[in-house]
């Protein structure tokens, strides 16, 4: 991997140091030739911030402050990112203070939390920033003590020399700021880590459990009003007219008005949305007053008809026709079944699968379906906005500030440097907060109301506003010869409005004759990234099917997968296989050993003797977001109902920065996956969501969570890869395979619970 070099000069470094108010501050940018902030330009110093990201501030009292670049929604980046930087700085972790940075792509880089990219994206830049600062401190000490810099050592924030001289970092910070910034610093070898790979408590943990105001819903500002939106009752409808006379008579109400989210012809960015374009808004003094007043609105709605949208994205500018029909789940399933019979787009083809299936002694064919899913973040959507003719200030929870800034600039007709975005801690994200239409809505409402406002969604607003996990289906076929050898594999998947097929992932590369196809059905029901997009369904269907194929071949499920992976390693088919067969096999081997795969009823180390229940086991493994995950699920039956009692997890995500936090992320993914597999579903009738709150949208309960989730990581020195998403997809397949062992029947439709209830 290419080593990035820092290339900024002493005057640039002094510029940041002066702004830091004393001491030394190292600020480095991801982007070359980045523009400095206005107040930096006022110093009339050149801009030389290049390639790296983050701020290190060392004060005279030896406190080290890091401005965390990435938004935090529970994955603990506000601890793991500073750990990486403090490691190379040789800082005393007790003296590290972390703050969330504002939106500033020039200084802080992409600032995107999603795609399991935070640690992976900042692994080299933050460590290089720490190493450069450490070297500059050593240079300052060497000059002060008149000794060779090679003789100066560091440990836990202290500089030392064999002569007995020593100083804390803070004592040398001002002088270090005059030292030229070194280039191409050599980074520590993993064997020398003292902070990374050692668990550290969440730097905001105490604030979270003591209820400090960290979240968007906590934010308050002088003169702030509350706004809520009344959106159409169904997808495919729009506002025709409204009567707000009774609403305006309600206590605390300031205004009621309608406006458009996007004007006709507006070119939407890749993460802009157009769920409901006509906004009917109520503005008042308090949340409770606005909620009650909104109930008094009298609104008439009408069909939208087909809508033409102009979209900008990776593929460039394109026109998209959004259908205007009022969709229902029953009709959607029928349409998907119809589309599945039609020719589809070929995504990958190896060998001659048609001949393999024509000559097969046995063909196994199964179809899997999954519904829309709502993100259901614990903290509903909200954002503060104060927009004037000169400036716009925003405060709230979002995953990708850089993606919404261009949209805000166009809609508000303000240059980017007049838009200030402050990011709060998020009460959940999972992809939902990458689509910041709610922030754009807040901006337009504030401008119209001529006041600072906070837009708040109720739970019902949030659940019925769209941005769902798509509705998916996939048909898998396997061709076996007379000796039960796998000679052909075919997957054809589709969805509303996208398919979930990853054509170059396992078992592609392990079967001579392989075909992957995909198709899509347009819809006005808006969708978006949902924890491990597409993979969350693809893994469920694929891993369920592979178990059924293994059974037909008379093979152990794990050994069957390992045989395929051995073929993919030693004699791979095709050239575009995304996965590393060795690492994939590694997690399967590890989970097999740690779960005592062939003896499920034996007590595990540290576990009391299992009760009288019999364990039924299921396994699944998957690669996504550059990492590998495998789970063994142990299921029991109590009072006629299946429960996941134990889960054994094996993960290969490269170097684990913060082990305790990493285990927590895997455990959370396991519980989330079990809950969605059993219960998650959002359905529609005549365009209207049928589940509007948690009384109808079923979530997993505490007593339904596993009693044991035993997490193990493959130990290697590979640079960190993804972790927030990779453990999630294979949970679905492992649960389905365990259910088969428990009930004797295979699962083909998510969620599993409704069909289980029919059988009981």
pLDDT tens across 216-239, in order? 999 999 999 999 999 999 999 999
pLDDT tens across 716-742, in order? 999 999 999 999 999 999 999 999 999
Q: Is the pLDDT of residue 594 over 60?
A: yes
Q: Is the pLDDT of residue 1 over 50?
A: no
C-alpha span between 721 and 727 (Å, rounded): 12
Q: Which residue is associated with the tokens 């983050």? A: 54
For the segment 54-82, the average pLDDT, to the nearest whole number, is 84
Note the CATH number of domain 10-197.
3.30.365.10
Q: Is the pLDDT of residue 53 over 60?
A: no
Long-range own/partner contacts, residues 692-695 (CB < 8 A, 24 or more apart): 692/460, 692/463, 692/464, 693/459, 693/460, 693/463, 694/376, 694/459
C-alpha span between 713 and 651 (Å, rounded): 5
Sheet hosting strand 158-160, strand order edge to edge: 153-155, 158-160, 166-168
| Contact (CB, 8 A) for 140 and 45 | no
Token pair, residue 555, equals 């093979």
- Give strand pairing partners of 268: 311
Q: Which are the contacts of 81, defined by CB distance < 8 A and separation ≥ 6?
A: 54, 66, 68, 69, 70, 118, 119, 122, 126
| Contact (CB, 8 A) for 492 and 344 | yes
DSSP class of residue 145 equals: H
The pLDDT score that the predictor gives to residue 125 is 86
Token pair, residue 46, equals 């050149």
For the segment 582-605, the average pLDDT, to the nearest whole number, is 92
The model's pTM is: 0.91
CA 624 to chain centre: 12
User: What distances in angstroms separate CA 36 from CA 355, 406, 670, one per listed residue?
Assistant: 62, 18, 43
Number of CB atoms found within 10 A of residue 82's CB: 29
Q: Is the pLDDT of residue 84 over 90?
A: yes
From 247-251, 310-314, 337-341, 602-606, the region with the lowest mean pLDDT = 602-606
C-alpha span between 183 and 176 (Å, rounded): 15
Q: Please say whether the structural domain 218-308+375-464 has been given the CATH code 3.30.420.40.
A: no
Q: Where are the alpha helices (DSSP H) in 459-502?
A: 459-464
The pLDDT score that the predictor gives to residue 22 is 42
Sheet hosting strand 641-652, strand order edge to edge: 616-624, 627-638, 641-652, 708-713
Higher pLDDT, 759 or 462: 462
Q: Is the pLDDT of residue 6 over 60?
A: no
Q: What fold, for 556-759? A: Aldehyde Oxidoreductase; domain 4 (3.30.365)
Q: Which residue is associated with the tokens 């399991």? A: 116
The whole-chain average pLDDT of the chain stands at 90
Domain chopping of the chain, boundaries: 10-197, 218-308+375-464, 556-759
Q: Is the pLDDT of residue 314 over 90?
A: no
Which of 344, 278, 275, 725 has its CA nearest to residue 518?
344
The pLDDT score that the predictor gives to residue 409 is 96
Q: Would 10-197 and 218-308+375-464 be classified into the same CATH topology?
A: yes
Q: Is the pLDDT of residue 420 over 90?
A: yes
Q: Is the pLDDT of residue 192 over 80?
A: yes
| Contact (CB, 8 A) for 464 and 381 | no
């Amino acid at each position: 991997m290419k080593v990035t070099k820092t290339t900024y000069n002493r005057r640039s470094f002094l510029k940041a140091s002066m702004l830091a108010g004393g001491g030394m501050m190292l600020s480095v940018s991801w982007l070359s030739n980045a523009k400095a902030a206005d107040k930096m330009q006022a110093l009339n110093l050149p801009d030389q911030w290049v390639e790296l990201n983050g701020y290190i501030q060392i004060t005279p009292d030896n406190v080290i402050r890091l401005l965390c670049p990435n938004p935090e929604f529970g994955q603990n980046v506000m601890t793991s990112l500073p750990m990486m930087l403090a490691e190379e700085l040789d800082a005393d972790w007790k003296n590290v203070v972390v703050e969330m940075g504002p939106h500033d792509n020039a200084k802080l880089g992409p600032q995107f939390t999603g795609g399991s990219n935070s640690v992976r994206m900042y692994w080299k830049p933050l460590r290089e920033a720490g190493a450069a600062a450490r070297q500059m401190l050593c240079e300052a000490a060497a000059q002060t003590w008149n000794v060779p810099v090679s003789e100066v050592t560091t440990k836990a924030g202290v500089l030392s020399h064999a002569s007995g001289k020593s100083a804390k970092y803070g004592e040398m910070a001002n002088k270090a700021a005059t030292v030229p910034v070194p280039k191409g610093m050599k980074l520590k070898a993993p064997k020398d880590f003292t902070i990374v790979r050692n668990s550290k408590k969440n730097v905001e943990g105490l604030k979270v459990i003591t209820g400090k105001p960290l979240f968007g819903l906590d934010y308050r500002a002088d003169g702030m009003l509350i706004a809520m939106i009344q959106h159409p009752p169904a997808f495919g409808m729009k506002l025709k007219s409204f009567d707000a006379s009774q609403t305006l008579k309600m206590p605390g109400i300031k205004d009621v008005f309608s406006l458009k989210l996007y004007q006709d012809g507006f070119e939407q960015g890749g993460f802009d949305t157009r769920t409901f374009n006509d906004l009917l808004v109520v503005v008042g003094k308090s949340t409770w007053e606005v909620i009650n007043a909104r109930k008094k609105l009298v609104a008439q709605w009408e069909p939208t008809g087909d809508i033409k949208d102009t979209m900008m994205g990776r593929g460039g500018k394109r026109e998209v026709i959004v259908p205007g029909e009022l969709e229902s789940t029953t009709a959607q399933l029928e349409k998907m079944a119809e589309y599945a019979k039609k020719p589809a787009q070929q995504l990958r083809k190896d060998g001659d699968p048609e001949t393999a299936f024509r000559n097969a002694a046995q063909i196994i064919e199964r179809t899997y379906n999954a519904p829309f899913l709502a993100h259901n973040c614990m903290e509903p959507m909200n954002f503060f906005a104060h927009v004037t003719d000169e400036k716009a200030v925003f405060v709230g929870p979002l995953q990708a500030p850089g993606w919404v800034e261009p949209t805000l600039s166009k809609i508000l007709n303000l240059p980017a440097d007049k838009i200030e975005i402050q990011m709060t801690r998020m009460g959940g994200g999972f992809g939902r907060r990458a689509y910041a239409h709610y922030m754009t809505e807040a901006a337009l409402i504030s401008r119209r109301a001529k006041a600072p406002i906070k837009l708040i969604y109720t739970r019902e607003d949030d659940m019925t506003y769209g941005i769902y996990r798509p509705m998916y289906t996939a048909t898998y076929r396997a061709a076996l010869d007379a000796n039960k050898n796998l000679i052909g594999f075919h997957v054809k998947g589709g969805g509303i409005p996208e398919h979930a097929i990853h054509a170059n992932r396992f078992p592609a590369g392990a079967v001579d004759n392989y075909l992957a196809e995909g198709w899509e059905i347009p819809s006005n029901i808006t969708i978006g990234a949902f924890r491990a997009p597409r993979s969350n369904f693809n893994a469920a269907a694929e891993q369920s099917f592979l178990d059924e194929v293994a059974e037909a071949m008379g093979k152990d499920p794990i050994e069957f997968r390992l045989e395929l992976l051995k073929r993919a390693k030693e004699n791979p088919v095709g050239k575009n296989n995304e996965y590393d067969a060795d690492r994939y096999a590694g997690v399967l081997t590890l989970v097999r050993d740690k779960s005592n795969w062939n003896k499920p009823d034996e007590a595990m180390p540290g576990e009391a003797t299992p009760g009288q229940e019999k364990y039924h086991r299921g396994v699944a493994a998957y690669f996504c977001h550059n990492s590998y995950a495998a789970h063994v699920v142990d299921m029991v039956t109590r009072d006629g109902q299946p429960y996941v009692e134990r889960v054994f997890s094996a993960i290969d995500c490269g170097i684990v920065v913060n082990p305790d936090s990493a285990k927590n992320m895997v455990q959370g993914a396991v519980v989330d996956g079990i809950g969605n597999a059993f219960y998650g579903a959002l359905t529609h009738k005549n365009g209207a969501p049928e589940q509007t709150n948690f009384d109808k949208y079923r979530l997993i309960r505490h007593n339904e969570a596993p009693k044991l989730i035993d997490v193990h990581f493959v130990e290697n020195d590979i640079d960190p890869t993804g972790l927030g998403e990779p453990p999630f997809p294979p949970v679905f397949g492992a649960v389905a395979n365990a259910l088969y062992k428990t009930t004797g029947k295979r699962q083909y439709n998510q969620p599993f619970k409704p069909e289980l209830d029919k059988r009981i």
